[in-house]
Amino acid sequence: MHKLVIIDPGLYEVGGHHAALLNTLAVKEREAAVDITIYSSLHIAEELRDFAARQDLNINPWFDSNFYQYFDEANNFKSTAINTFIRGLALEFKSAIVNALESVAVSDNVIFWYPCVNWEHANALSLALSQLAHSAQYRDYVCSHKVCSMFMSQQPENNRTNLPYETAFKRLNNCSQVEIYAADWELREYLEKLNVGVDGIHPCYLLPWSDLEIVKKESVMAEGSTKTFLLYMGDAKENKGFTMLPSLIKSLSATHLENVKLVVQYTTTWSSPVLEEAEQKLGKLAEQLANLEVHKVFWSVEELVRNLNKTDLIFCTYEPSAYQFKSSGLAWLASFFNTPVVLRGESWLAREFARLQHPFEVSPSLTYSTQLLEKNSSQKSEYRSSLFIEPIDWLYKN
């Protein structure tokens, strides 16, 4: 029996990539038996705990630290508050590792997987592992640690904001049995320029890719047949363009009456007056327009696959400046389902689509060409294939 310990302090809300990983684990038919324990936030949503229990996934609520509390604070990496946070998170990492090892035999090969790590988390983990290296509670076990880096400085030309990334991940390089993986091509290049040792690119874990049976889309649709446009998917956020949905829907409805179905899916974690106003407008439009579907619910794997498989065009309303150096799973989902995309502007998403040779257009007004609708496939490449390896199988084959 393989022993896999997933340490994910960011797993607490119903939405986003943390919850998506939980769904992927639940439906994956594994090649080998894997005993999985997940250490989550102490504040994990009851809905996620209930879901995990129904799927026989062992959730151990553990972390009291607010995982993203200092996410945007690379400029203030020397502040007392951040260093206090890092020390507290280090103690929680250390105690979670020790707790996990209490239930395994010394001869067991245990993989610890950290699916989402930023510089402050890497600092805390390196501190925890350095302390454990001198402890009999840890030394006698055969452990490996696979760390998935997901973020980079939003000012990659600024040496000051690069410093915490360089320092933190180099410290992890110095820890025994630690492997560092980047979420995408650009992030790997970024870390390597900082002289951080990177073991490769880890697969996207939003879906159990190897288990999906995708119905091939018709390359030519019958004249007058209904198309489906996905206008939004994920957490309702201002920098993802949630507030522009009402005007976009009105614009599309004026030009597409009955031949296009408009779909919006979102969850709410953070609230603000402008988001609430947009949500109210969205609700009224859903009552008025027969061709508008609004799903205020987290899509399960089955729902996500069903909806994306019948989507003909994705509108990415993300603010380009916010995603200039920030990755998004939307790029990989669109590529996997061979769905063309309209972007508001140049950003990481445009560069990633270019790397994947996936059809997209950049249009600040979110208009699109007829030719884009006719393009519905990404080009095969080694990089594209590496993103769609099944995560659990990847962990045990590397």
- Residues near 111 by beta carbon (within 8 Å), at least 6 away in sequence: 2, 3, 4, 5, 143, 144, 145, 146, 395, 396
Shared domain for 318 and 359, answered yes or no, is yes
Domain boundary among 161, 179, 202: 202
- Please report the sign of the dihedral spanned by the C-alpha atoms of residue 329, residue 331, residue 336, residue 338: positive
Q: Which residues in 281-373 belong to E strands, given as ranges?
A: 292-295, 313-316, 341-343, 360-362
Q: For residues 207 and 191, what is the distance between their CA atoms, to the nearest angstrom?
A: 26
Task: With respect to residue 396, please indicate whether it lies within any of the assigned structural domains.
Answer: no
288 occurs within a structural domain: yes
Q: Is residue 388 part of a domain?
A: no
With beta carbons less than 8 A apart as the criterion, state whether 366 and 313 touch. Answer: no
What pLDDT digit, counting tens, does each position of 151-160 carry? 999 999 999 9
* Contact between residue 326 and residue 17 where contact means Cβ atoms under 8 Å apart: no
Distance CA(252)–CA(242), nearest Å, equals 16
Say which residue the tokens 């669109």 belong to.
334
On whether both 315 and 341 belong to a single domain, the answer is yes
- Same domain flag for 220 and 361: yes
356 within domain boundaries: yes
Residues 31 and 101 in one domain: yes
Are 174 and 230 in a shared domain?
no
Provide the domain count of the chain.
Answer: 2
Same-domain status, 15 and 48: yes
Domain containing 69 equals 2-202
Q: Which amino acid is at 353?
A: F
Q: Going residue by residue through the chain (398 aa), what tens digit of pLDDT does each one get?
A: 678 999 999 999 988 899 999 988 887 655 557 789 999 999 999 999 999 998 888 999 999 999 999 887 666 777 899 999 999 999 999 999 999 999 888 778 899 999 999 999 999 999 999 999 988 878 888 899 999 999 999 999 999 999 999 999 999 999 999 999 999 999 999 999 999 999 999 999 999 887 775 544 544 444 447 899 999 999 999 999 999 999 999 999 988 767 899 999 999 987 899 999 999 999 999 999 999 999 999 998 889 999 999 999 999 999 999 999 999 999 999 999 999 999 999 999 999 999 999 999 999 999 999 899 887 677 788 999 999 998 888 888 75
Q: Write the DSSP string, 318-344.
A: --TTTTSS---HHHHHHHHTT--EEES
- Both 244 and 377 in one domain: the answer is yes
- 344 and 242 in one domain? yes
CATH number at residue 282: 3.40.50.2000
**pLDDT for the residue numbered 31:** 53
pLDDT at 222: 42
What pLDDT was estimated at residue 216?
A: 43
pLDDT at 132: 95
Give the tokens for residue 133: 């290296």
374 plus 241 within the same structural domain: yes
Q: What is the CA angle 364-367-343, rounded to 5? A: 50
Query: What pLDDT, on the 0 to 100 scale, is given for residue 220?
Result: 42
Which pLDDT tens digit goes with each residue over 347-395? 999 999 999 999 999 999 999 998 998 876 777 889 999 999 988 888 8
Domain final residue pick, 202, 234, 266: 202
Picking from 180, 202, 224, the residue at the C-terminal end of a domain is 202
Q: Are residues 220 and 181 in the same domain?
A: no
Q: Is residue 324 part of a domain?
A: yes
